[in-house]
A and B are shown apart, each in its own frame.
Chain A
Amino acid sequence: MKKYGSICFFLLSVIGFPAQAEYYQIDTEGSHAFIEFRIQHLGFSWMSGRFNTFKGNYSYDENNPSTAQVEVEIDVASIDSNHAERDKHLRGDKFLDADAFPKASFKSTAFEQAEDGTAVLTGDFTLHGVTKQIEIAVNPVGQGLDPWGGYRRGFVGTTQFTIADYGINVAKLGPSSQVIFLTLSIEGIRRSATDSPEGEKPF
């Protein structure tokens, strides 16, 4: 019997226990996720802002992190630099042209996690109608049960890109303001494939 037991256990560990990818929905509803950007102003200081509206989800498997997938969609018009007149300019056709390109998006293609837990997330980033590959340096922040019966997992990612690569001419802003730096603070709430709000797999 002991033999069968161990065989059963072995089988279970292969079929039943195999560490499964966990699906997470980014907690934009509770606003525990932020897409913040920084860009230099005239080379004298940093200006920061964020995108207020976006949604996304990711999958993550602790035992097989390289299968992780991330998908985020950003409402470009929700840009907020705490200055109405500037936000109006940024949405306008000289910059983001939010009317013509209302959505920006990120879809991962690879996730490489190092032994210390940090990772590099690679994916296709679409902005202003242009899609380019970017790499995001990812640091895990923490995970576990929240006080309300859910399970959460959070990361912080940083990346940067040259704005002109996406067909947005910012030459007039001066040489110090050509590169934008992004900080992505992401908290996901774990969903099972069936209880996700859409009732289907996020991917």
Chain B
Amino acid sequence: MRLNNEQTRYGLVSITLHWLIAVLTIALFVLGVWMVELDYYDSWYQQAPWWHKGLGIVVICLLVFRWFWQCFDAAPDELRSISTWQLKSAKIVHVLMNASIIIISVTGYLIVTAKGKALLVFDWFAIPAMVTGVDNLEDMAGEVHVGSAYLLIALVGLHMFAALSHHFFYRDKTLTRMLGFNKERRQRSRL
């Protein structure tokens, strides 16, 4: 498999970024929902947020890198069999997923740093606080963080549903080319 995208298929970099961000995003959601219910004496009480913060920063870094990558590595051509409204709604969902990841990252950072503490990314480095002195900033940031996380997961569900329906119902290459399968699928186009 090539590193770069080609006209009909995705390259290794695009595929790796897509699935890495996908898996980490879902993992972060589950981790987040689980960790806020942990008991004070639970051995994960300190460890779970430590992972959540570190992985969260990893995801936003991957996402930013992905935007840069996309600037220089054009996506494969859209599949001709797919209708315009589907292509358009897919675009909208992509933009919204990106936007919610940004919002979740920023608000997550604000919760931690609202009173001047730095955000520790594993034990690699610390991101210093930049916005402080706003009353109850951590609460407002927290509400937005949770809300946009649920929005993101809903969008992920939509995205997955679309991908699976293209695979099993429309039987096109939408999913397989993101999985990196090179073999041409026998297509039964309905259009």
Contact = CB atoms under 8 A, between A and B. Distances in A.
Interface of A: 77-78, 80, 82-85, 87-88, 91, 172-174
B40 A88 contact: no
B40 A84 contact: no
A83 B113 CA distance: 9
13 contacts: A77-B135, A77-B136, A82-B115, A83-B117, A84-B111, A84-B114, A84-B117, A84-B137, A84-B138, A85-B138, A87-B138, A88-B139, A173-B40
B123 interface: no
A84 B39 contact: no
Given A77-B136, A88-B139, A173-B40, 16 more contacts: A77-B135, A80-B115, A82-B115, A83-B117, A84-B113, A84-B114, A84-B115, A84-B117, A87-B115, A87-B138, A88-B111, A88-B138, A91-B136, A172-B39, A172-B40, A172-B41
Interface of B: 39-41, 49, 111-115, 117, 135-139, 142
Contacts of B40: 172-174
Contacts of A78: 135
Q: Which of B113, B135, B139 has the most CB of A within 10 A?
A: B139
A101 to B, nearest CB: 15
Contacts of A83: 115, 117
Contacts of B115: 80, 82-84, 87
A26 B112 CA distance: 33
Nearest to A80: B115
A80 B116 CA distance: 12
A172 B38 CA distance: 10
A172 B41 CA distance: 7
A167 to B, nearest CB: 19
Contacts of A77: 135-136, 139
A77 B40 CA distance: 21
A81 to B, nearest CB: 9
A88 B49 CA distance: 14
A77 B137 CA distance: 11
Contacts of B114: 84
Nearest to B129: A84
B41 A85 contact: no
B145 to A, nearest CB: 10
Given A82-B115, A83-B115, A88 B39 contact: no
Nearest to A177: B40
Contacts of B111: 84-85, 88
7 tightest Cβ-Cβ pairs between the two chains A and B: A84-B114, A84-B115, A84-B138, A88-B138, A172-B40, A172-B39, A88-B142
Contacts of B135: 77-78
A184 to B, nearest CB: 22
Contacts of A82: 115
Contacts of A173: 40
A100 to B, nearest CB: 14
Nearest to B42: A172
Contacts of A88: 111, 138-139, 142
A95 to B, nearest CB: 11
Contacts of B137: 84
Contacts of A85: 49, 111-112, 138
Contacts of B138: 84-85, 87-88
